[in-house]
Amino acid sequence: MVNEIDRQTYWLFNRYFGIIPSKVYYMLRDKAEEQIYEFGWDETFKSWKKYLFTECKTPESAINFANLFWSYGGQDHPVSEPYEFLGYFYFRIDFDTEKHDAGGFLDSLAIDLLPRAGYYYADPNINCDYVPELDPRIISAAKAWKSAGL
């Protein structure tokens, strides 16, 4: 049985980021903000994360989710367990950012989400040498996803 928040999440994320006309983009962004207002960020993020983990099984779908997550303002909120979340993306793309993340969305997510969660070494204002693909915690999280046999 799908509840209302998961229904809304499916509606928000079950689309291709690259072909959203600007008028539709703003409508989607408003709907995401309404969802966050109605259910709160914690419940919204749980639903979004569940969608990522259950629906995004290819590199393309994981990067598409990252793009939509960013466009809906997800990076502006605290994320519980940011390494589990970020590690999933790197696991799905097998760390091949050159091929799958030419826009740099994963780097942007990492340098926004990690400092917000208290991992200040990922803040480019503090550590201009930070590279998410070389972060031992992201590598460890991606390995954990891989060893889970997904």
pLDDT at 2 > cutoff 90: no
pTM of model > 0.85: yes
pLDDT at 132 > cutoff 50: yes
pLDDT category at 1 given cuts 50, 70, 90 is very low
Q: Which residues contact 76 (CB under 8 A, 6 or more apart)?
A: 112
Q: Which residue has the higher pLDDT, 53 or 102?
A: 53
pLDDT of residue 87: 97
Q: Which residue has the higher pLDDT, 118 or 1?
A: 118
pLDDT of residue 105: 87
The CA distance from 10 to 31, in Å, is: 12
Q: CA torsion 14→117→110→123, rounded to 10°?
A: 150
pLDDT at 14 > cutoff 90: yes
Q: How far is CA 130 from CA 28, 60, 62, 102, 124, in A?
A: 32, 25, 22, 18, 7
Can you tell me whether residue 63 is helix, strand or coil? helix
Q: Which two tokens stand for residue 35?
A: 């969802």
Q: Which two tokens stand for residue 99?
A: 């091929």
pLDDT category at 44 given cuts 50, 70, 90 is very high
Q: Which two tokens stand for residue 92?
A: 């799905």
Q: Would you list the DSSP string of 75-142? A: GGS--SSHHHHHHHHHHHHTT-HHHH-TT-HHHHHHHHHHHHTT-GGG-TTT-TT--GGG-HHHHHHH
Average pLDDT over residues 13-37: 93
The CA distance from 59 to 64, in Å, is: 8
H/E stretch holding 27 reads: helix 22-39
Tens-place pLDDT, residues 68-113: 999 999 999 999 899 999 999 999 999 999 899 888 889 999 999 9
CB 60 within 8 A of CB 100: yes
